[in-house]
Amino acid sequence: MSNWYATREAVKRAGKINGVLSDVQIDRIIESVSRQLDLSTRRFFLPRTETRLFRWPPSQTSLLTVLWLDQDLLSVTTLQSEAQNASPTTISSSDFFLEPNNQGPPYDRIEIDLSSTAAYQAGDTPQRSISVAGSWGYTSNTRSGGTVASGLDSDAAATTMVCSNASRIGVGDTLLIQSEQIFVSERDFAALDSKLINGALTSNQSEVTITVDSSHGIVAGEVIRIESEQMYVVSVATNDLTVIRAYNGSVLAAHSDDTAIHINRTLTIERGVNGTTAATHADATSITPYEPPMDIQSLCIGESLAMFAQEEAQWGRAVGPGDSARDFTTLDLAARKQRTVEYYSRVRMAVV
């Protein structure tokens, strides 16, 4: 399942991890930690489009107008009773309520409006007789992520795309583009049209201003590459970029005037994830990455760094070589995880 609660870039920044040699290891750890959080809280924090089936009635003592759900519900597309019959009965959206109304979404139950004539019915068999199609998960919050620059306008099966703003998108993000969800599994650099540096650069760490020949669209927070040296863009003033040189473990180097600028906006993607359908998307279509709750993101980063350190220490008690070694402890992190899991744990489960 390609739903991560932190990006590779966020974990590497927090842990001051440079270079690409650990990327595969970090990706695996983030995936593992994200699934552990799902299991610990008994919920998932990004939306999925799916149909879930429920027994009816769930028990002899249940309120027959209330369907308790086994997972968080964000919205309903279609609610049906007698789902096992050849012709199920569709219950109109005007005939039921999503509850709790004052707190949701997410919702934990669907109640029939008692003023309506609608009803849950078992049909031929009580097994799998109530069908709920919709969006499931704890939250569907998103943030602005720029637009599609190229790659998706003519091919619904394309596995790479170029975005307009790489500062808002990381490896591990799930993107919403129109109604399709797309998972970012990798990124790479590509030439930024014919944009060149205006003036030579020396191999001096303190030389941090780069002038671009013409209008460029580069924004603060993006990473550029000139020849083999990567640079983090701290700020932009018209055609002048203030950067951090030799970023991400790359080697500081001199660069001649009119050398091409590459930017890490090319994304390797998985299409139509979480029950959505792959489609074409025109250039300039809006991209909105999903945002898990901030404390879930923070915990995922902390847990990922702890697991990374443990693996680097071969699951020993000390991290680091020789005299610089230090004892490894995660007591503060464990306490934070306990508080977060207790807060987010989904207690109410479906009656069976």
Residue pair 326/176 in contact by the 8 Å Cβ criterion: no
Q: What are phi and psi of 234, to 5 degrees?
A: -85, -40
Q: Determine the Cα–Cα distance for residues 15 and 6; give it in Å rounded to an integer.
A: 13
Q: Which two structure tokens, joined as six digits, stand for 262?
A: 């590459």
Place of tokens 């640079």: 231
Q: Are residues 146 and 274 in the same domain?
A: yes
Domain containing 255 equals 142-289
Residues 121 and 231 in one domain: no
pLDDT value of residue 195 = 78
Report the DSSP beta bridge partners of residue 318.
Answer: 327
Are 180 and 297 within one domain?
no
> What are the tens digits of pLDDT across the range 20-65?
999 999 999 999 999 999 999 999 999 999 999 999 988 766 678 9
* Between residues 325 and 298, the one the model is more confident about: 298
- pLDDT of 311-323, one tens digit each? 988 776 665 666 6
**Which residues, in sequence order, are bridge partners of residue 211?**
240
Per-residue pLDDT tens digits for 213-263: 878 889 999 999 999 999 999 999 999 999 999 999 999 999 999 999 999
Q: What is the pLDDT of residues 102-133, one digit of tens each?
A: 888 999 999 999 999 999 999 888 999 999 99
pLDDT of residue 318: 61
pLDDT above 50 for 352: no
| d(C-alpha 275, C-alpha 297), whole Å | 23
- Given this model, what pLDDT does residue 1 score? 59
What tokens were used for 260? 């091409």
In 3D space, the residue among 138, 126, 67 whose CA is nearest the CA of residue 96 turns out to be: 67
Per-residue pLDDT at 228: 95
Percent of residues, the chain, with pLDDT higher than 70: 93
Q: Per the structure, how many domains does the chain have?
A: 3
pLDDT of residue 350: 45
Q: What counts of helices (H) and strands (E) characterise the chain?
A: 4, 18
Mark whether 22 and 59 lie in a shared domain: no
Tokens coding 243: 């950067």
Identify whether residues 199 and 268 lie together within a single domain. Answer: yes
What band does 326 get if pLDDT is binned at 50, 70 and 90? low
CB 177: neighbour CB atoms within 10 A? Answer: 22
Tokens (6 digits) for 346? 């989904």
Q: Is the pLDDT of residue 349 over 60?
A: no
261 & 322 share domain? no
Q: Which of 87, 103, 136 is the last residue of a domain?
A: 136
Q: What pTM, to 2 d.p., does this model score?
A: 0.90
pLDDT of 166: 94
Burial 260-279 (b: 16+ CB within 10 A, else e): ebbbbbbbebebbbbebebe
